[in-house]
Amino acid sequence: MIVFNYETPFELPNEIQTQEWIQKVVADNGFEIGEINYVFCDDNYLHKLNVEFLNHDTLTDIISFDNTLGKLISGDIFISIERVEENAKDFKVSFENELHRVMIHGVLHYMGFKDKSDDDKIKMRNAENAALSLLKY
């Protein structure tokens, strides 16, 4: 089950199509969805989580808490809509493209993709691009 929660005035358009897209990406990678909770919030909300749980006093676009067991994907993914908007401008992409990239980024982490080393970052970006190519709406 994929649930979208809102702690900011933002509302995700096309929730059903987005759920179907995430499910396809997960299935294509040989995993199943348990429970994924997306929480869309602002910078302040996410900053507090970053400080409290990760001891990082910085702004970020996404924090994910992984509860995956084996091939059953579960977790909570917090996304700052403000950071996504800023990053979209900085990277010169649409807000929707950046939002979907961040959304799938969290799920890819649950499937074992990393992004600490340069090699891992390339693999993560390739997986993000492959997932984005499946998005239809």
Find tokens 């006093």 and name the residue: 57
Which residues does the annotation place in the binding site for Zn(2+)?
105, 109, 115
Cα separation, 93 vs 41, whole angstroms: 21
Other beta carbons within 10 angstroms of residue 73's beta carbon come to 24
The answer to whether 10 and 39 have CB atoms below 8 angstroms apart is no
The tens digit of pLDDT for each residue in 62-101 reads 999 999 999 999 999 999 999 999 999 999 999 999 999 9
Taking the C-alpha atoms of residue 3 and residue 22, their distance in angstroms, rounded to an integer, is 12
Is pLDDT above 90 for 119?
A: yes
In angstroms, the first-to-last Cα distance of the chain is 21
Annotated binding site: 105, 109, 115
Give me the percent of the chain exceeding a pLDDT of 90: 85
All domains of the chain in start order, with CATH: 2-133 (3.40.390.30)
- On whether the CB atoms of residues 36 and 74 are closer than 8 A, the answer is yes
pLDDT at residue number 137: 61
Is residue 104's pLDDT more than 90? Answer: yes
Q: How far apart are CA 48 and CA 13, in angstroms?
A: 26
